[in-house]
Amino acid sequence: MVENVKALIVYGTRYGASAGTAEEIASVLRGEGFDVKVVNAKEEKIKDLNPYELIVVGSGLQIGKWTSEAEDFLKRFQNDFANKKLALFASTMKTVSERQGKTQDVEVTRKFALTDKVTKYSLQPISLGFFGGVIDYNKMNFLFRKTLGSIRQQLEKDGFKETSPGVYDLRDMEEIRSWAKDLAQKASQT
């Protein structure tokens, strides 16, 4: 267990999946002795990375895009990450494709959600997390709700149940915890 290693988790979210994922990662890191600050990139602007040794940046995906706030954070600090331990995560609909056996779709999504970000910003992350997200029909605009309305039956067919009316949580919390524990070990190494 490490002590007093400062970690910053910055996330962008649309429907709450990345917020919950960030908090779950923070909980695991705290359990491993890290001093963690969690920030919603839309609500708080980080000005300085100097106090932190580990930076975790994540976002939900919508139509293949990170939230603009999380993307802006990567762009703004891309040069500063070279002196930090960095990890990225994305909250996606990958669990739907996994249950349908569409492994190629999963890999394509992983590439544009994470690998392309690494290349675009010349990053050297110690870990990449690729998780399920949340589909919340209540928070979607009309057009997006109409577009995704047809997959509701497919979600039920694939074994996903509403966690509350109009909300489907596609995350595997054990997968997130396992990744965070592995991240803690990697970040503890010099």
Q: Is residue 144 part of a domain?
A: no
Q: Is residue 181 part of a domain?
A: yes
Q: Is residue 162 part of a domain?
A: no
Q: Are strands 54-60 and 127-132 parallel, antiparallel or unpaired?
A: unpaired
Q: Is residue 64 part of a domain?
A: yes
pLDDT tens-place string over residues 28-61: 999 999 999 999 999 999 999 999 999 999 999 9
Residue 46 belongs to domain spanning: 5-133+170-188
Q: How far apart are CA 171 and CA 20, in angstroms?
A: 10
Q: Is residue 100 part of a domain?
A: yes
Confidence at residue 120, expressed as pLDDT on a 0 to 100 scale: 96
Q: How far apart are CA 170 and CA 143, in angstroms?
A: 21
pLDDT tens-place string over residues 57-89: 999 998 789 999 999 999 999 999 999 999 999
CB atoms near residue 185 (< 10 Å): 12
Q: The domain spanning residue 63 has which CATH number? A: 3.40.50.360
Q: How far apart are CA 168 and CA 95, in angstroms?
A: 11
pLDDT tens-place string over residues 140-154: 888 877 777 778 888
Q: Is residue 103 part of a domain?
A: yes
Q: How far apart are CA 184 and CA 3, in angstroms?
A: 11
Number of separate domains in the chain: 1
Q: Is residue 83 part of a domain?
A: yes
Q: Do 33 and 1 meet the contact criterion of CB atoms below 8 Å apart?
A: yes
Q: Is residue 145 part of a domain?
A: no
